[in-house]
Chains A and B, each alone.
Chain A
Amino acid sequence: MPEAAALELDEVEVRYGSVSAVRNLSLRVGKAEIVGLIGPNGAGKSTTLHAVMGLLPAHRGEIRLHGQPLRRRSAESIARAGIALVPEGRRIFGDFTVEENLRLGLAARRKGYMGDPLAPAFELFPVLREFRRRPAGALSGGQQQQLAIGRALVSRPDILLLDEPSLGLAPLAVDGIFKAFTEIREVGTTILLVEQRAQRTVALASRTHVLVGGELRMTLGPADAEDTEKIIAAYLAS
């Protein structure tokens, strides 16, 4: 019997009222793997992450963490079970200092870690250590995104969910965070990445699923990254 996937969605359906935003979605994310989720606006990508995080109930189907179903657990308890979401728009606390924002991430950390609890964030993004006393609202957009990712990492999650982390960032800052994703995977963290930058995502992830109209349309591998036509066709396949 194969080892249970780190995160597994099994025929999941999510509804807003009577409209289903995600239908019959099944996917597996293995340990220390990056899986991408791309698709046009309104395809149900963020909805999927919200369902995993317990912010939205799954109308049908099951979501499992290490084989354990997450049904009816609250966002706060899912966070403490080892899933961290970096939400769209970053959602940092602008009036708090950088360090306070990072310390909030510790709320979901499980027991048994030694040393500086903020080290995972500082090692990956040294600028956060430098600016630790500044109000988070005073950071640049790229630094705020680093802070949001750092805040998720200090909880030492097994699985990191990223919701359009490159949105609104300058090209250099985008390079920075994509490089960080590789480093995060290398320490054994699993990543489910929702992105609009399709080509970069396909190149980075071991598999990238294309979601159109709430349904899984196609799965691309790193080899498809150069095949722009195939990616565009996947988007338009409706």
Chain B
Amino acid sequence: MSVLASIDLNTLGDAFGLGAIYALMAVGIGLVFGVLRLVNFAYGQLIMAGAYTLAYTTSWPVTASIVACFAVVVALSLAMDRLVFRPLRSSSPAVMLVTTFAVSFLLQAVALIIDLRDGTLGEVASAVAPLNQAITVGGVDIRKVTFVAVGVALGALVALALVLARTTIGLHTRAAASDFRTARLLGVRANRVIGFAVVVSGLLAGAVAVLLTVQNPFVQPAFALEDTIVVLVGVVVGGIDRLWTATLGGFAIGFVSVLVNAALPTDQTIFLPSVVYALVIVVLLLRPAGLFAWGRRAAMERV
């Protein structure tokens, strides 16, 4: 009971907020994995690039700043696909993953050079900061960004679910994720499907950049790096073979991190990572195909 007692509505709000943001990142990573079988470690640097764009356009009107953020992230996502993912399409998973490490370091190194032009490390993205203010709901202070994050995540997930279920490109994407060879045999255009996944994944990274800079307006080259690692862990724990289990995994790891943090005694929170990662190991040992991967053929359909 002591664990539950230490969790108040405020914490719950934060847990939903972070879970929602991580769920969006999980979709972005899971969608590209579905069609390319590639774990994109450099996903965090798309978000970082978006955050820098927000920082450098702080003087612009908010809408223009956000549009610029999306434009930069999507363009970078497409460039990554063209220059890195496509040439690697037939390589082994280890090679693809390690190449995205290199891309991740490359983008961080470039960001560092751009950032240091003004002589100081880090930039402040404050255009959307007002969302960080708290509003009072039933006597409890909850930050506005929590509602925005949950709203954006739900909206984006519902929209994506509809596109995947109802449109031709959605059908083709699901088919490609399930059995790429047969999909191509039927005339599904591989490049179009991959392009779709890459653009949507970029759009989601743009949205995450906006939401994360509200919580933490201080942007530096390692921005979103740690979040990406945590989400990658969550995605595999949830079950990377299907988009929805991956998304749930992303949500769960964000949600649980906040709750465990609140439940641990104050002087023990330093061991939070150990507790969370020990849980990760236990879950992987019990359900190696994914926590949420129920059913007969866990790996049949991957989106």
A binds B: yes
- A residues adjacent to B (C-beta < 8 A): 53, 55, 74-76, 79-80, 85, 87, 91, 93-96, 100, 103-109, 151, 155
8 Å CB contact of A95 from B168, B178, B186, B187: B178
8 Å CB contact of A151 from B168, B186, B189: B186
Q: Majority SS of interface residues in chain B?
A: helix
Flag if B188 contacts A107 (CB, 8 Å). yes
Q: Majority SS of interface residues in chain A?
A: helix
Given contacts A93-B178, A96-B174, contact A55 B187 (CB under 8 A): no
CA–CA, A105 to B181, complex, Å? 14
Flag if B187 contacts A79 (CB, 8 Å). yes
8 Å CB contact of A155 from B172, B175, B187, B300: B187
8 Å CB contact of B184 from A76, A93, A94: A76
Query: Does any Cβ of A come within 8 Å of B91's Cβ?
Result: no
Flag if A107 contacts B172 (CB, 8 Å). yes
Flag if B182 contacts A91 (CB, 8 Å). yes
CA–CA, A155 to B185, complex, Å? 12
17 additional contacts (CB under 8 A) given A93-B179, A93-B301, A104-B188: A55-B181, A75-B185, A76-B184, A76-B185, A79-B185, A94-B300, A95-B178, A95-B300, A96-B301, A104-B171, A104-B175, A107-B172, A107-B183, A107-B188, A108-B186, A108-B187, A155-B187
Flag if B189 contacts A107 (CB, 8 Å). yes
8 Å CB contact of B186 from A55, A74, A79: A79
Flag if A103 contacts B187 (CB, 8 Å). no
- Chain B, range 168-211, C-beta contacts under 8 Å to A: 168, 171-172, 174-175, 178-179, 181-190
CA–CA, A95 to B171, complex, Å? 12
A104 contacts which chain B residues (CB < 8 A)?
171-172, 175, 183, 186, 188
Please provide the 9 A-B residue pairs with the shortest distance between their CB atoms, ordered closest to farther.
Answer: A108-B187, A79-B187, A107-B187, A95-B301, A91-B182, A76-B184, A107-B188, A80-B187, A75-B184
- 7 cross-chain CB contacts under 8 A: A76-B184, A79-B186, A87-B185, A91-B182, A96-B175, A107-B186, A155-B187
CA–CA, A87 to B300, complex, Å? 18
8 Å CB contact of A76 from B171, B178, B179, B188: B188
